[in-house]
Amino acid sequence: MKRFLYVLVPILALGLMIAWRLNVKKTEAAQQTKQREARMKAPPMVSVAPAQTRDIVQTFEAVGSVEAPFNVKIAPRLTGQIDFLQVREGDHVKKGQVLVRIDPSDLNSQVRQQQAALAEAQYRLAQAQINQNPTNVSVSTQIQQQAATLASAQADYDQVKENYSAQQAAAAAAVTDAQGRVDNANAAIGNAEAAIRSAQANLDNAQARYNRILDLYKQGFIAAQDVDDARTAVSVQQSALDAARGQLNAAKAARDSAAAQKKSAQEQANIVTTKGKADIAAARAKVAQAEAALRYARANTAQRPAYQQNLAALRASVAAAQAALHSAESRRADTILTAPMDGYITGRMMDPGSLATPGQPILAIQAIREVWVTIPVPEEISRKIFLGQTARATFDALPDRTFTGKITQINPSADPLSRQFAVRVSLDNRQNLIKPGMFARVTLETERIRSAVVVPREAVQQSPQGAVVTVVDSANTAHRRPVTTGASDSDGIAITQGVQPGEQVVILSGMPLKDGQAVRIEKPR
């Protein structure tokens, strides 16, 4: 009996619970039915958004790989054993930092040999210059002396010619003067002779008068005084004749003296001419002798080109020795390899003690202060981008970070297989967050339409008549309007006709809406 009760009581309890649960379910179903009927009769609930005036920005997104703009392989120019190499992958290096040293022992010996060869060449050049200077001075001095002698001889020659001309002129003047005195004397003789003739005539006339008067006196016609006067007149005329004859003699003596002077002046002129010509010839001979001496002195300068050629050869030897020394020093400098830029070591191919050979890389350095992202761009997009354009980049490895860069290169030639253009975007990487090899998503703005009326994409529906937007007015009444759409971006579609800025458009509705239907606007949470 007790065992039966133990079984019956749980069964009754379970039955009561089931009955209670069924009753609750029935009640809930009735309530849900009432609520559904109420919702069906109530205005539908809709979500709305305002039509906004903003720019439509169309973008293009592509995936590219990060690369360093400078990726340098450090390789030696000569063969040698590496005796210094301490940097490893990941180490940061500065421009000019010593990275690798190669054993310079052999090159040090070559440098010392070239230094000795240069010193010897410089010594030979100095000796030649020391020997050349006295010779050049002697030749120059001789030329100067002979040039001075020639100038003096030429001056003497010019002076002799001038003296000759002056002496000839003086002698000619003396001859002319003597000739003038002769002519004057001849004129004086003529005058004296005329005076004699006149005095003789006067004397004859006085003597005749005297004779007449004397005859008259003897006849007693005139006084003795008249005879005396006539005799005196004869004496006077005789004195005048004697005086005229004296003047004639004096004029002849003057003529003889002038003729003698003329002869002496002519002889002196002849002497001047003869001596002047002789002096001129002697002076001309001295000039010719001085010119010959000068030509001879200048001929000695023919040895200068030989000296110059010798000096040029010695200078060339010095230059060759200097070039050889610089080459040896340059080869020795090549044993030290330095960082050509700031960057990070990304590869180490050898270790200390290895034998380095020309062209075989030892280290790899990449500069990542600035990095590049290369993306492919289709032909239709390439026409809408330009150098210097701003670009945005995101990385899966760096979530919630957006990097801004610029387009630095656009390949003008498309890839023949993909028909896409390679575009390179430069990003600032001063924080060293971006690493070469990472994948990046690059977004480029391809078009911007300013001050467009934009609605969310969900607000535009397609109908057989075209695009339709449902607008809710201030009375919460829905109005279906045909619209003309324009450009779009990820956040909305531009409406060029049919919607005004600020109007509320339906973006979500629980059921299809009819034109003029009342609606309830869901309040934002």
pLDDT, tens digit, for every residue of 321-342?
A: 889 888 878 888 888 888 988 8
399-424 tens-digit pLDDT: 889 999 999 999 999 888 889 999 99
Q: Distances in Å between the alpha carbon of 114 and those of 128, 266, 314, 328, 333?
A: 21, 88, 16, 7, 15
Cβ-defined contacts of 274-281 (< 8 Å, 24+): 276/160, 276/163, 276/164, 276/167, 276/168, 277/164, 279/160, 279/163, 279/164, 280/157, 280/160, 280/161, 280/164
- CA distances (Å), 144 to each of 56, 134, 153, 157, in order? 95, 15, 14, 20
Over residues 13-39, the mean pLDDT reads 74
pTM (2 d.p.): 0.47
Identical fold, 74-102+335-364 and 107-305? no
In the CATH scheme, what architecture does the domain 107-305 have?
Orthogonal Bundle (1.10)
Distance CA 411, CA 409 (A): 6
Looking at residue 403, its pLDDT comes to 94
pLDDT given for residue 107 in this prediction: 80
3-state secondary structure of 184: helix
For 522, phi and psi rounded to 5 degrees? -70, 130
pLDDT for residue 377: 93
Task: Tell me how far apart the alpha carbons of residues 358 and 345 are, in angstroms, rounded to a whole number.
Answer: 20
Side chain identity, residue 471: V
Percent of the chain with pLDDT over 90: 15
Res 300: pLDDT: 61
What's the average model confidence in pLDDT over 167-187? 78
CATH no. for 74-102+335-364: 2.40.50.100
DSSP track, 272-337: HHHHHHHHHHHHHHHHHHHHHHHHHHHHGGGHHHHHHHHHHHHHHHHHHHHHHHHHHHHHHHTTEE
pLDDT at position 410 is: 92
* CB neighbour class for 14 (10 Å; exposed up to 12, middle 13-18, buried from 19): exposed
Instruction: Specify the pLDDT at position 281.
Output: 80
Between 227 and 45, the more confident residue is 45
Residue identified by tokens 């005859």 is 215
Parse the chain into domains and list their residue ranges.
Answer: 1-42, 74-102+335-364, 107-305
